Amino acid sequence: MTYSLYFHIPFCVHRCAYCDFNTYAGQEAFIPAYVEALVREIEAVAASAPDRLPVHTIFFGGGTPSLLSPEHFERILGAIRKNFDLKPIIDERSVVTNSVVPPEISLEANPGTVSLASLKGLRKAGFNRISFGVQSSHPEELRLLERIHDFFDVIESVKEARQAGFENLNLDLIYGLPQQTLERWQESLKRAVGLNPEHLSLYALTIEHDTPFGRWMAQGLMPLPDPDAAADMYEWASQYLQAQGYEQYEISNWARPGYPCRHNLQYWRNEPYLGFGAGAHGCAANLRIANIEDQDLHRTIIGSHPRNFSVISRHGQPGEKRPDRGYAGDHAAGIAVDAGRRIRGNVQETLWRRDIGGVRQGDPGIDRIRFDRMGRDKGKSAAPFDLPRPPAGESGVHAICG
């Protein structure tokens, strides 16, 4: 079983009005210490495993990972190479059978926070995939979201990424904004496609209570998004991207043939991944762990292992808390068991047993569930785009990775 690694970089120049992720604005002074804390965590987790673990994808999310310098990433990636066994992956784009490419190493970046020099440094460090948070091409929508870039920054960042040698590029967009029209959404998506990315991620705006958006809407200062309009935007985007040669490989992601995000597929297929950093999640061998989101970032950085964490689910016991156990030690308990059995959640069992509109159930010999177009909107909050059918009697594990 090959693993994936997720690294949470919680630093931001500005926290966006809709964001409820574990992020900190104006704390860049702690970046060097945070990098060293990640290195210690890498070493502790790797040392706790019974064998040297094979890894084929690495993803840096946030926050704004591009606030770290190429030298910071060289330090982290050097520790990964020293402690894990990086494995090549099959190149689905090659006409040569069993041709392989290096492990997929992805970075989330905000347009305007990178330069040609920094992008070249990232390529030299080993990154071969980059994802830019575009969200919209319209200035007023970007101001509403409290983004710090404009679409000209996006154009420049994409151009410089190509000049630096990135051949695998994703653009993130958000639809279903308050008072957003279908026509304005179409303009944003068409402009993004015009930049020729290999991959597109489209997410419906979710209103979280503990955010400025949530508070403004609760006070009647902002209209709620229109779910019917958002559904129309999603349906149009799905048809448009198909016509442009993109393949939809799960609910919110489209890719050119041969360019799906391998790390993303690791989540959707319920295959094992390990999480590093403040608030990061890991999932392996029927054990899902979340690092504690310590609101005191300084205390998180200077802390030493064993680290506090919460077991979200283990052997069908959701919500089990183990705040006094070391992160690395209990991670080893999960790693020590071969993660051959995929974790299947109650939601999958529910979808299979109930007649939910938009879910196609084949004859008893079919072992997959797939949402049709009308069911994808319902499935966004429920389950992966393409689900394994739970074997008879196997419903005791209550977590879906991702």
- pLDDT tens digits, 377-390: 444 433 334 443 33
Residue 202 CA, distance from chain mean position? 12
pLDDT confidence tier of residue 268, bands split at 50, 70 and 90: confident
- Provide the pLDDT confidence category of residue 179 given band limits of 50, 70 and 90: confident
Let me know if 45 is exposed, middle or buried by CB neighbors in 10 A (0-12, 13-18, 19+): buried
- What CA–CA distance (Å, rounded) separates 319 from 342? 19
Q: What is the pLDDT of residue 391?
A: 32
Q: Is the pLDDT of residue 116 over 90?
A: yes
pLDDT of residue 395: 26
- Is residue 206's pLDDT more than 70? yes
Calpha distance 273→106 (Å, rounded): 14
What Cα–Cα distance (Å) separates residue 260 from each residue in 104, 121, 195? Answer: 11, 24, 18
Q: Is the pLDDT of residue 78 over 80?
A: yes
Query: What ranges do the domains of the chain cover?
Result: 3-267, 346-388
Q: pLDDT (tens digit, 9 = 90+) per residue, 287-314?
A: 888 787 655 555 556 554 444 454 444 5
Question: What is the pTM for the complete model shown?
Answer: 0.76
In the chain, the percentage of residues whose pLDDT exceeds 70 is 68
The pLDDT of residue 235 is 96
Whether residue 340 is predicted with pLDDT greater than 50 in this model: the reply is no
Chain mean pLDDT for the chain: 76
Rg of the chain (C-alpha set): 21
Average pLDDT over residues 337-351: 29
pLDDT given for residue 198 in this prediction = 98
- pLDDT over 80 at 197, yes or no: yes
Alpha helical stretches, state H, 221-310: 227-243, 262-268, 297-302
Nearest-CA neighbor of 279 among 316, 317, 307, 302?
307
Q: Which fold has domain 3-267?
A: pyruvate-formate lyase- activating enzyme (3.80.30)
CA–CA separation, 375 and 377 (whole Å): 6
Residue 364 has pLDDT above 50, yes or no: no
Measured over the CA atoms of residue 381, residue 387, residue 392 and residue 394, the dihedral's sign is negative
